[in-house]
Structure 1
């Protein structure tokens, strides 16, 4: 069903990028050997340092998706989650989910567009909406 999971997040100068990387790797701990981590240093509008962290997972993607959907359905309910997913799928069938970075640091799963960890579940093959 899915070919990969791309996780991306911005770490600001006041944040510990290693803590954020470890948070993501610990959350998706089932196949840590099948990942690729990229760190991109950039700067914000006011020249403040920002680090973009991109992590791609290649294995166990269906399991990750199932686990996240189960947890989010418990929090939001199946109907609200289905509506969220319907509004966050592209023409190729990739599913976009944004999780609150600060809440995930506290061990809680919460959908958010602000200061988010972006998950992209990339679909294999052709997709028909």
Structure 2
């Protein structure tokens, strides 16, 4: 079972905010929260975040996730921490065009919290493989 999915991305001053939002909409219809911050050099940055907890929204996301070629991922064990969180990054520009491209330097950060009882990393990995289709 998945407890939640968190998605976060940045919109820099050099990017078209509408295109960034369109890219994120390719992942979920959930409403993103926007925070305006200032970068190290005084540049404006918008941070978009959403926490998905509704079962329907989680299932919709998983349907999209299943389109990703998981063979290009390093072993799932390297993407899961001891608290049951699965980490993934996607390329924002590809996402804008509806393509789900995994990129370890990607601008779209995704954390999937996987429920496991008891909370042992090995059990989380086992559950993640079932849920995420590995």
Relative to the length of structure 2, the TM-score reads: 0.74
Query: How many residues of Structure 1 are paired with residues of Structure 2 in the alignment?
Result: 118
2:88 maps to: 97
Is residue 2:106 matched to residue 1:109?
A: no
> What's the C-alpha RMSD, in Å, of the aligned pairs?
2.2
1:1-129 paired onto structure 2 within 5 Å: 1-29=1-29, 32=30, 35=31, 37-59=32-54, 60=56, 61-68=58-65, 70-73=66-69, 76-77=70-71, 80-81=72-73, 83=75, 85-126=76-117, 127-128=119-120, 129=122
> How many Å separate the matches in 1 of 2:60 and 2:116?
18
Relative to the length of structure 1, the TM-score reads: 0.76
> How many Å separate the matches in 2 of 1:82 and 1:45?
32
SS of alignment partner, residue 87 of structure 1: helix
> How many Å separate the matches in 2 of 1:114 and 1:64?
21
> How many Å separate the matches in 1 of 2:95 and 2:114?
25
- Structure 1: 5+ residue runs without aligned partners? none
SS of alignment partner, residue 114 of structure 1: coil
